[in-house]
Amino acid sequence: MNFASDNVYGVDPRIMQAMVDANYGTAVSYCHDDGSKAAEARLSEVFEKEVKAFFVVNGTGANSLALSAISPPFGGIFCHETSHINTDECNAPELFTGGAKLITLAGAQGKITPQAITEKLKAFGHGEHGAKPSALSITNATELGTVYSPAEVKALADVVKPKGMKLHMDGARFANALVSLGCTPAEMTWKAGVDVLSFGGTKNGGMLLEAVVFFDTSLAEDFLYRRKRVGQLVSKGRFLSVQMLAYLQDDVWLANAKRANRLAQDLAKGFVASNRVQLFAPVEANEVFAVMPRKMFDALQAQGAHFYDWPMEGLAADAVLCRFVLSFATPEGDVTQFLKLVRETP
């Protein structure tokens, strides 16, 4: 029973088979293969707009490179205080941008509000004496498993765009947010004001399946050089592009996300029914955040369940906030067995 992360599971067999098939014959190297061109064209179809797409090997690279394209070294990048770029990427955004400053904002349920941005901008009235507000980065789905609706994204864009700021979306779990909302990829991104997206697929069935997708293609002018300079250009790039093509074919990406989200709902409903574990945040994608007694946490871990305790201030001394992540490959029986343990554990 492993709910530690959607990274603990393997590769979707259809994607793995596509990589095996790509192992025969030859192809142009360094992401200039026919598959890379086809995958970019397919992404343009998915997003209903001509995009520029660049494949990289991980989410940290995707986020940090995307931010380097929209913020100068003296820029300020607004983000949520719990965002991955702020807490889990070892200062890579600052490194890739050449020194841009991450400016954090608080917000309930992992979300930034237009009011919070407006208030924070008031502190930037001293010209060159402070960082230049250059970008806003939001995560969808958020670090607490909640999702921004297209209307919420647009409300943020309406605040930052008049200030000359660009809007980046960290989509490590983009598919999970999308199927939860029931909107189109275009509605969730560029139609709401997003300039560049870190399009993640590794957590949803890929092996190395990350792309930086530019909706404002003018921002991608120097991106080939940026990607090469930081070691994110893969010589055998066909093994990245074939993953993307297989991921998007027959809506594999959406089906995988739907299954992971459904299992998250099943787990959440089981917690509620048990009257022993309290949900901490709305369950809107494939993550469940819940509070349980420390004694129960320790007992469940001892019985073979794997999930993380999540740092959070303000909890009772004997309580722990836990994160459960459901995957496209999580066995349904694991959810059933775990909920049985929750009901039976003293």
CATH number at residue 316: 3.90.1150.10
Please give the pLDDT value at position 281.
95
**Confidence label for 216 from pLDDT (cuts 50, 70 and 90):** very high
Structural domain boundaries, residue 276: 253-344
DSSP state of 190: G
- Of 215, 250, 285, the residue that ends a domain is 250
Residue 235 burial (CB count, 10 A)? 8
Q: Which residues contact residue 185 at a Cβ distance below 8 angstroms, ignoring those fewer than 6 apart?
A: 46, 47, 48, 178
Cβ pair 315, 277 in contact under 8 A:
no
What is the per-residue pLDDT across 154-201, written as a single tens digit (0 to 9) for each? 999 999 999 999 999 999 999 999 999 999 999 999 999 999 999 999
Same domain, 156 and 278: no
Same domain, 170 and 263: no
Same domain, 284 and 320: yes
Same domain, 161 and 65: yes
Average of per-residue pLDDT across 29-42: 97
Same domain, 215 and 340: no
Q: Which residues contact residue 163 at a Cβ distance below 8 angstroms, ignoring those fewer than 6 apart?
A: 121, 133
Same domain, 189 and 281: no
> For residue 65, is pLDDT > 90?
yes
Same domain, 96 and 245: yes
DSSP state of 306: B
Question: 32-49 burial, b for 16+ CB within 10 Å, e for fewer?
Answer: ebebbeebbebbeebbeb
Same domain, 165 and 122: yes
Q: Which residue has the tokens 């999702």?
A: 147
Report the domain count for the chain.
Answer: 2
> For residue 125, is pLDDT > 90?
no
Q: What percent of the chain has pLDDT over 70?
A: 100
Average of per-residue pLDDT across 117-131: 91
Please give the pLDDT value at position 124.
87
Average pLDDT value over all residues in the chain:
97
> For residue 317, is pLDDT > 90?
no
- Of 205, 231, 250, the residue that ends a domain is 250
Same domain, 194 and 62: yes
In a domain, 1, yes or no: no
CATH number at residue 29: 3.40.640.10
Same domain, 241 and 258: no
